[in-house]
Amino acid sequence: MGRTSDAKERLLDAAFDLIWTNSYGAVGVDQICEQAGVNKGSFYHFFPSKSDLALATFEDQWNRRRPEFDAMFSPLVPPLERLDRWCAFILGIQRTMARRFGQVCGCPFVNVGTELGTQDVRLRDKVAELFSRSQQYLESALRDAMAVALIPEGDAAGLARMIHALSLGLQVQAKVANDPELLGVLAPAIRRLLGIPSDT
C-alpha cells in the first residue's frame, strides 16, 4: 500500500558515483539529490542522514558486484586463474573510471575508509567488513591452490591479507599518479609473494 518509487535506488546510485569520483566530504546532500532527480524531502524520507546513505550505498554496491565475484572465484576456475581474473577485474575498473572521468578514482572503500575512519565508526566498520569479504575470496582460492600443490602450504588467511593490502596500496599509488596502468604489476607482484617463478 502507498505509492511506490525508485527514488531510493537513484539516490544510492548517484551517491556512490559522486562520492567515488570526489569524496564524502566534498559531495553535498543537495548535489546528490540533484543528480538523482530527487527532492531533499524525499532524501530524508528514505535515509535518516547522509552517513546512513553512504552506509547503505556500500552494502548496495557490494550486493550488485557479488555475482561477478562469485563467478570470478568460482571453484570451477583453477585457483591461480581466479587471482588473475581478480587482478584483471581491478585493472579494468580503474581503467574504465579513468577514461570516463579523466582521473583514476581508486578503491571507493579505501577512499571513504581513510577519509572517515577516525570520524564515523559505523562507516569504518562497514569498510572493514567489506575488506574481510574480499579477503575471504582470496583465502579460499589460496587454500585450493595449496590443496593441489600449486603453491606451498602456509597461512592462507595471512597471505590473503597481504595480497589484499598489495592491491589497495597499488590502487592508492595509481590514483595519486593518475595512471591506471600502475596496476599492471599487481598480478606479477602476487606471484612473487606466493613464490611462483614468473614466466619470463
**Interface with DNA by CB under 7 A: which residues?**
1-5, 7, 27-31, 38-46, 48-51
Nearest distance from C-beta of residue 136 to a second copy, angstroms: 14
Output 51 or 140, the one with its CB closest to DNA.
51
Give CA–CA dist 86/160, Å, rounded: 13
Only one of the segments 9-17, 22-30, 72-80, 84-92 lies at the binding site for a second copy (rule: CB under 8 A); that segment is 22-30
Q: Is 166 in the site for a second copy (CB under 8 A)?
A: yes
Nearest distance from C-beta of residue 159 to a second copy, angstroms: 8
Q: Is 16 in the site for a second copy (CB under 8 A)?
A: no
Candidates 72, 90, 105, 141; binder of a second copy (CB under 8 A) is: 105
Q: Is 141 in the site for a second copy (CB under 8 A)?
A: no
Output 52 or 179, the one with its CB closest to DNA.
52
Q: What are phi and psi of 50, to 5 degrees?
A: -60, -40
CA distances from 71 to 93, 160, 180, 188 (A): 16, 18, 24, 22
Secondary structure (3-state) at 33: helix
Give CA–CA dist 87/82, Å, rounded: 9
- 68: cell is 561477478
Query: Would you say 10 and 33 are in contact if contact means Cβ atoms under 8 Å apart?
Result: no
Candidates 15, 53, 106, 156; binder of a second copy (CB under 8 A) is: 106
Output 33 or 98, the one with its CB closest to a second copy.
98
CB-neighbour burial class of residue 87 (10 A; exposed 0-12, middle 13-18, buried 19+) = buried
**HEC states along 120-135?**
CHHHHHHHHHHHHHHH
Output 88 or 166, the one with its CB closest to a second copy.
166
Q: What is the number of other CB atoms lying within 10 angstroms of the CB of residue 125? A: 13
**Contact partner, 127, from DNA, a second copy, none, Cβ < 5-8 Å per class:** a second copy
Site residues for a second copy per CB under 8 A:
21-26, 101, 103-106, 110-111, 113-119, 124, 127-128, 131, 158, 161-162, 164-170, 172-173, 175-178, 182, 185, 189, 192-193, 195
